[in-house]
Structure 1
């Protein structure tokens, strides 16, 4: 049970076939999904997928053993949802990557066939209005089977037109960063910190201290490791981001051990609002998605 390695958990209730609700000592609530194809954990804070373990395989996602077990604090690892902006906020009083990842979401539905499909939602409320005065409805559809699927759907439920940024900020576990390669990112990248443009080979080798926007990323990305391939299908994005803090960056993060940087790489499907926001009129929707599939080699 993956989260037991990090947190002290108590089983609260069964929500149907293969779906249970757990709660941590610190007050975070989690949904565990089990079927013959995979096991998955999702935090109700942020509707954040924290673990996806295909049957007989390792966990495809990385989660920090130093994650902070406290409501309102962002969870380091898994697949955080960045919304309604990606990156730094325009005001120092607002959280980086938006508020969706620290808001409490609702589990609306769980259906079971050969796999599980769960629906989570977040709507504008007093908490969100204090940071962003727009009316919206977010839903996240999570499919747990021989692949992990996530579809983040944004709907404008107000009268005014507004633009949105977002990301599925996926932390992928790797055997060793130096032995990993990513195919499909394209050859053109922009450094997030310096905004300098650079060119890379078609097969990109992630390096420590990496933070780059790949503006020509393809709909199918492949993370190559010595013993596996991880295929990441993405849609609804305008940028892919590849990030790793390196030793110096990890040392500055309270919820990460200094050597954690060697065991993950973030490959993110992003709507970068500074590049081009997605604009929604009243009633319009937008979908941002990833499908993650593991192949041993």
Structure 2
């Protein structure tokens, strides 16, 4: 049985069958999809929406939603083995159980749990029996997500993951990722190297396709005409920066040909050289907090 919903929280269904949760609180407005436990919208009071969702998105049950904060688990990118398994894991198209929701003066907290037996049942090659996954979403003046994996099996569990956040940047020409001086990265668009490259400039500007795994040791900030979003993480040693640019955008599902001009993904992750292994009985939490500040003048710094 699902918990009762507090004041300001209500359900509605998309035309194509996805159950959505609308939240209206004095400190923010938000929307979460039960499919994928995916935060689709978060607008703090006095600020526009931090998150971007494609206007081409049909919200079709059983199909991954393009935008918001998809949960990629238990692998990021292509499946690291044989078989025709979906990119970014199997949880984005699964209905999660809402196990608790609580309202306080400062905000509302949701806790979702994935029924992993159902999620993995179509994929015989996946060995995840006894592994549990839970997502806590804290909404208030800031947005915080905590994704927790628990290995209750008798064998080690190897996984990678990401909170695949799509930011609304308004105009990609104004977008910058700040905090990259000296940060190592792997460039997925270049031949693989034994050792990562190193960023020279503090800011990454987006003027072409970018698909990189960074390994930052300090918080990052996304700047654009929409404002500044500060990204503070725990349990993460990697961050993915992605924009498909014009050519690749034309081949993406649920993505308009000019959508790349308004969005930028900066993803809190455990992927690439930061993938994880949990021994039996161990757990790991991946957390991110997004807080907003007014926009600043955008410099002319180039790519690094």
Please give the TM-score of this superposition, normalised by the length of structure 1: 0.90
Any conservation in 1 of the 2:160–2:276 contact (CA below 8 Å)? yes
Any conservation in 2 of the 1:186–1:214 contact (CA below 8 Å)? no
Give 1:124's aligned residue: 116
Query: What's the CA shift for 1:68?
Result: 2.9
SS in 2 for 1:16: coil
Any conservation in 2 of the 1:208–1:246 contact (CA below 8 Å)? yes
Q: Distance in 2 between matches of 1:295 and 1:178?
A: 19
Query: What's the CA shift for 1:186?
Result: 4.2
1:155–1:191 distance in 2 versus 1, CA, 3 Å: same
Which residues in structure 2 correspond to 1:1-297 (within 5 Å)? 15-89=5-79, 90-114=81-105, 115-131=107-123, 132-134=126-128, 135-187=130-182, 188-194=184-190, 195=192, 197-200=196-199, 201-215=201-215, 217-226=216-225, 228-272=227-271, 274-297=272-295
Any conservation in 1 of the 2:217–2:237 contact (CA below 8 Å)? no
Query: What's the CA shift for 1:92?
Result: 4.4
Query: What's the CA shift for 1:227?
Result: 5.6
Divergent runs of 4+, >6 A: none
1:32–1:219 distance in 2 versus 1, CA, 3 Å: farther
Query: What's the CA shift for 1:218?
Result: 3.1
Deviation string 1:215-240 (CA, Å, 9 cap, x unpaired) is 2x134111122462111111211211
Any conservation in 2 of the 1:161–1:282 contact (CA below 8 Å)? yes
1:276–1:231 distance in 2 versus 1, CA, 3 Å: closer
Please give the TM-score of this superposition, normalised by the length of structure 2: 0.88
Any conservation in 1 of the 2:238–2:274 contact (CA below 8 Å)? no
Aligned residues between the structures: 283
Q: Distance in 1 between matches of 2:119 and 2:268?
A: 26
Q: Distance in 1 between matches of 2:95 and 2:206?
A: 33
Q: Distance in 2 between matches of 1:264 and 1:58?
A: 14
SS in 2 for 1:247: helix
Any conservation in 2 of the 1:219–1:235 contact (CA below 8 Å)? no
For structure 2, list consecutive stretches of 5 or more residues without a partner in the other structure: 296-304
Q: Which has the larger share of strand?
A: 1
Task: Provide the alpha-carbon RMSD of the alignment.
Answer: 1.8
For structure 1, list consecutive stretches of 5 or more residues without a partner in the other structure: 1-12
